[in-house]
Amino acid sequence: MLYKSTRDPSGARYTSAEVVKRGIADDGGLYLPESIPTLAKDEIDKLRHVPYHERAAHILTKFLTDYSFEELLDDCRAAYRHESFPSGPAPLARLDDRLFSLELWHGPTAAFKDMALQLMPRLLTRALKKTGERRAAHILVATSGDTGKAALEGFRDIDQTRITVFYPENGVSLVQKLQMATQTGGNVDVCAVRGNFDDCQNGVKQLFSDSELALELDRRGAFLSSANSINWGRLVPQVVYYVSLYCELQNCGALRAGDRFCVCVPTGNFGNILAAYIAGLMGVPIKKLICASNLNNVLTDFLRTGRYERNRTFHKTMSPSMDILISSNLERLLYYIAGADKTREYTAKLAKTGSYLIAGEEKDKISESFIGYFADETETTAAIQDIFKKYGYLCDTHTAVAFSCAEKYRRETGDRSIIAVVSTASPYKFA
Ligand SMILES: *Cc1c(COP(=O)(O)O)cnc(C)c1O
């Protein structure tokens, strides 16, 4: 399986090891596989009865064809071991017959970023070997709080790597700040930035496209790479838990094979929900992807009107990991919907004017799969209380945004399908 850049219509292709190593394409685009492999029904039946790390290796081997199945199995076993995920990597909580919570925060840093970042450094180390790379990979990370800690924890003291994390000084929770500031390890650096997450992300993207910096680093035996969800190596492990979710919904008797269900994802950079979209393309019968935003509802507006408009007030909310106005991974969806030429046009417009408009068939295609809602601060607080009163279930602020949006979806559409809310952080992380 080879990969291409979302902004390159020329047909240049890259191997999976190359893509994991480089993180972002030279033209500023994001890597995507040439085609999406599918999962047959009997494959899913088999996956239902194996542990999570085997499910993971089985999915990954379809995308990362430079890696042997045994290598992937070893890495997944190590990444998702019991010491790191004492309650299992992706347990499913049943609130009632039609409402579930997929808990992705049982890893070392108490947020769902661990699902990818416990594995990705292992994939990168192998990629360096496979591509004959002798330079050190210097990982740059822009974080709204959770990626930073999870990446530091994943990369600490990993051979041939260094990591620098940039976080918005006043844009993360106290727990998140302390987690990052107290990081141990010989190859780690953390910088607080005066600005918000988008400033951090834009700064990092600028460094990636600075050719003089690249030359200087090369002279010193290093190159830059990314651990944000712009890196395919970070995104593909996230596809796994949507396949696993489908297995678990069948295992607990809530669904029969082929029955469709909805997922509701608290969204910031659009990585997590894009992974769900890809799981859908592989054959997981997802009926609707409910994109849940907080007051920074740029995606809600985009999915409803077709206009992406980042020129708007930036809100600091109680769900800081979703305080984002430029959702990088939307570029991958644009590519699927509109192709490389149009994607380049839209992303150039976004960089220049802060907005772009899609319409007609492109908009219809997106609406077939996605629907957007947002919850304000009052609704988020109310959702925490409602879910606790109704089910005795405690959720964090990000997950609460999703519960609130799932409820709005039910009310607005009358759809009675099963909804799995994706729970992205431990309630104790955002007290
Ligand atoms: C990162 C994060 C999100 C947003 O995920 P994206 O992949 O950026 O859309 C939501 N909730 C929490 C707790 C996060 O850490």
What DSSP character marks residue 334? H
Token pair 């999870």 in the structure block, residue = 150
Give 10-residue mean pLDDT values along the chain (431 residues): 93 94 89 96 96 98 98 98 97 97 97 96 96 96 92 95 96 92 96 93 90 96 92 96 98 96 97 98 98 98 97 94 92 95 95 95 97 98 98 98 98 98 95 83
Question: Is any ligand 1 atom within 6 A of the Cβ of residue 233?
Answer: no
Q: Cα(343)–Cα(27) distance, rounded to whole angstroms?
A: 12
Q: Is the dihedral of CA 69, 75, 79, 83 positive or negative?
A: positive
What confidence score (pLDDT) does residue 9 get? 85
136-142, strands of its sheet edge to edge: 188-193, 161-168, 136-142, 222-226
pLDDT, position 28: 85
Q: Which of 263, 267, 430 to mutate to test the pocket of ligand 1 (most atoms within 8 A of CB)?
A: 267
Cα dihedral 186/190/191/196 (nearest 10) = 160
Nearest to 248 by CA among 90, 22, 385, 123: 90
Q: Considering the entire predicted model, what is its pTM?
A: 0.96
Q: Which residues of 5-18 are buried (b: 16+ CB within 10 A; e: fewer)?
A: bbbbeeeeebbbbb
Whole-angstrom Cα distance, residue 408 to residue 422? 16
Tell me, in angstroms, the distance from the centre of ligand 1 to residue 48's CA: 27
Tell me if 293 CB under 6 Å of ligand 1.
Answer: no
Q: What pLDDT score was predicted for residue 350? A: 95
pLDDT for res 10: 86
Among 313, 307, 300, 229, CA closest to 271: 229
Q: Helix, strand, coil % (nearest 5) of the chain?
A: 45, 15, 35
Best of 113, 200, 303, 321 to mutate for ligand 1, by most ligand atoms within 8 A of CB?
321
Ligand 1 centre and the CA of 70: distance in Å?
A: 30
The token pair at 69 is 């199945």
pLDDT of residue 133: 96
> What is the Cα gyration radius of the chain?
20
Ligand 1 atom at shortest distance from the alpha carbon of 266: 10
Query: Cα of 139 to ligand 1 centre, how many Å?
Result: 19
Please name which of 97, 175, 101, 150 lies closest in space to residue 399, comparing C-alpha atoms. 101
The reply to whether ligand 1 has any atom less than 6 angstroms from the CB of 270 is yes
301: left (phi over 0), alpha (psi -120 to 50) or beta: alpha
Residue 94's beta-bridge partner residues? 100
412: buried, middle or exposed (CB in 10 Å: 19+, 13-18, 0-12)?
exposed
- Cα 265 to ligand 1 centre (Å): 9
**DSSP secondary structure code for residue 33 in this structure:** E
**156 alpha-carbon distance from chain centroid:** 21
Decide: residue 341, CB within 10 A, 0-12 exposed, 13-18 middle, 19+ buried: exposed
